[in-house]
Amino acid sequence: MTHALSTSKKPKLSRLRRREEREFYLSILPWIIGFLLFTGGPIVASMFFSLTDWTGLTTRNFIGFQNYIAMFTTDKQFLTVVLNTFYYSIASVILGTIGSILVALLMNQKVPGINIFRTIYYLPSVTSGVAIAIMFMWLFNPQLGLINYALSLIGIQGPLWLASSQWAMPALILMSLWGIGANMIVLLAGLQGIPDHLYEAARIDGANKVQEFLNVTIPMLSPVIFYVMVISIIGSFQIFDNVYVMTRGGPGDATRVLVYHLYQNAFEYQKMGYSSSLAWILFLIIMGLTFLQFRFGRSWVYYETE
């Protein structure tokens, strides 16, 4: 009797499981279609385009790896573009991460109205990139800009900023600090997740504030710092709107970065095949840097479960 009941339940359970599976796949079908059409499909297509001389308008002739060979042999701007991108990425990520940690520490204080200050620091990170770029073009104006005016009040002659090949990239790096609010929120969540008893134990052992920060806060916050650095490096290598609006890669090639170089080859020089090869080189660089971060992150990132 019992055996008969168990066998009758199995078909019902299997029918229920199959129905749930069908409903699951039907639910995610729109996402799958969207991914294939707008993400996965273009990625595969760009790999094919990178092996052709396609201009975006004419027929596509297969040329093998000629675009990649030309990138390293005949494109005189490629090395400059890569070095500029690394320069911007390293400086902006280091300054941005340090700034985000300091602001997160300030926003973690228990003072009246702290939620208002947290909102104020976060809001710039969700502002339109073009609007911010236009605002900073005025701030960096050598004659009428607020930054040079403030420097003149203390007797310092301000640089030409965006009009100078020496100062244009530092100006973009300083501008990147405007959006540290997003990373600040992530780090703030990490700070609030550190158990209080660790600080209490450190105080019992006679640790001061600096020692607490170095021996408790940084190790416990290291997974969050690692995440922020990975995301920041990926984002820094994709900088485009600020360069496009503010400098157009100039003066000279001082601010010409990979994504802007890619854009110019695709839509100004009609070298869609060559720009696709640039996109894949950018992908490989980002993937390689991410791999190195995970590889060397094991030596300094601390996880509670370990």
Query: Domain map of the chain by residue range?
Result: 76-297
pLDDT in tens, 138-168: 999 999 999 999 999 999 999 999 999 999 9
pLDDT value, residue 12 = 61
Instruction: Select from 1.20.1740.10, 3.40.1280.10, 3.30.1130.10, 1.10.3720.10 the CATH code of 76-297.
Output: 1.10.3720.10
What number is the average pLDDT over the span 243-255? Answer: 94
pLDDT exceeds 70 at position 11? no
Taking Cα atoms as reference points, which of 183, 179, 252 lies closest to residue 224? 183
pLDDT in tens, 170-228: 999 999 999 899 999 999 999 999 999 999 999 999 999 999 999 999 999 999 999 99
pLDDT value, residue 16 = 83
Which helix (DSSP H) or strand (DSSP E) does residue 181 occupy? helix 181-192
Question: What b/e string do you get for 268-298 counting C-beta neighbours within 10 Å, with b at 16 or more?
Answer: eeebbbbbbbbbbbbeebbeebeeeeeeebe
Name the average pLDDT for the chain. Answer: 91
Q: State the Cα–Cα distance between residues 83 and 46, nearest whole angstrom.
A: 24
pLDDT value, residue 83 = 97
What number is the average pLDDT over the span 273-286? Answer: 96
What number is the average pLDDT over the span 227-247? Answer: 95
The answer to whether 68 touches 277, Cβ cutoff 8 Å, is: yes
Q: Is this model's pTM higher than 0.85 or not?
A: yes
What number is the average pLDDT over the span 38-64? Answer: 90
Q: How confident is the model at residue 303 (pLDDT cuts 50, 70, 90)?
A: confident
pLDDT value, residue 9 = 54
pLDDT exceeds 50 at position 115? yes
Q: How confident is the model at residue 85 (pLDDT cuts 50, 70, 90)?
A: very high
pLDDT exceeds 60 at position 134? yes
The answer to whether 74 touches 247, Cβ cutoff 8 Å, is: no
Q: What percent of the chain clears pLDDT 70, i.e. is strictly above it?
A: 95
pLDDT value, residue 175 = 95
pLDDT exceeds 50 at position 5? no
Alpha helices in 237-305 (DSSP H): 241-246, 258-263, 272-297
pLDDT value, residue 10 = 57
More confident residue, 18 or 281: 281
Integer CA distances (angstroms), 213 to 64, 183, 194, 240, in order: 54, 19, 12, 36
pLDDT in tens, 24-40: 999 999 999 998 888 88
